[in-house]
Amino acid sequence: MCRLAGYVGREPLPLSALLYEPVHSLEHASYAPRELLSGTINVDGTGAAWWPEDGSGPLRYVTSDPPWADPNLPGLAPYLRGTTMLAAVRSATPGMPYGPDNVAPFVADGLAGAHNGRIGGFRGSLGRTLLGGLDDDRFGQLTAMNDSLALFLMVVQQIDGQAGAPLSDAVTIVIQRTAKAVIAAGEVATLNLVVASSVEIVAVRTSAGDAINSLYTRTTAEGSWLASEPLDNDTGWASMPKHSLAVLTTSGIDIRPIEHEGAAA
């Protein structure tokens, strides 16, 4: 079901602050996760996207290897620094393709996104329905038939049509539309979706007709943090409420409810 983590702060930190350094880093969660809804390990890929302090980015590094097996990432991660970072380890959903193109975070138009979950029936008519909402340009960016990538591109397209609107609005609309299509098709979906820009991270913890994956937030002197599972034993980690949306910035974390079809208790 994948594990992910993110950070947005005033000072840049290395990717290793998410991937390797903490006692429960993403590397640790790849082979010893504690709160997976399904599956047992997350070894089908590792990815990171980050915005360096110079304002460039997002830069992206993805591999189909787990964090410890990639020949370059363990050595590079302490030196690749970002003021905003998003990283993930993948547990491939049965039926979904394998390889680097399927590893989150995905990037487009200055955004990065990752999805912890699955959309039931995506390889059938439901997937055709969701993909039918993408315009030609966004459909052309679908480098893999992957439900997570499709969700991210739906957000990017929604922003295209909402110039100046908050990123949180676009994420909310995509979750609502997706949940409505999922329930109408008689399917279920886990919909923990995280989308980052250079200055904020928007995260949703929800599902449509299914159990909900874990997601935690924390504020520190460095900035705001997000993780599928707490990265360390600090008591500051708080579980996001079910069916909620969080906006993480350098000044703190704002959490609000999100309503959609199939949002069972």
Which CATH number covers residue 23? 3.60.20.10
Q: Which domain holds residue 21?
A: 3-257
> Residue 190: beta bridge partners?
207
The whole-number pLDDT of residue 1 equals 61
Is residue 263 domain-resident?
no
Neighbour count for residue 108 (Cβ, 10 Å): 17
Whole-number average pLDDT of the chain: 94
Q: Measuring CA to CA, how many Å separate 113 from each of 40, 196, 213?
A: 23, 6, 17
Is residue 264 domain-resident?
no
Indicate if the pLDDT at residue 243 is higher than 90: yes
The whole-number pLDDT of residue 96 equals 64
Is residue 130 domain-resident?
yes
The whole-number pLDDT of residue 78 equals 98
Is residue 262 domain-resident?
no
Tens of pLDDT along 163-211? 778 999 999 999 999 999 999 999 999 999 999 999 999 999 999 999 9
pTM equals 0.96
> What's at 34, amino acid-wise?
R
The whole-number pLDDT of residue 160 equals 87
Query: What is the tally of structural domains in the chain?
Result: 1
First to last CA, the chain: 21
Q: Is 128 helix (H, G, I), strand (E, B) or coil?
A: helix
Is residue 265 domain-resident?
no
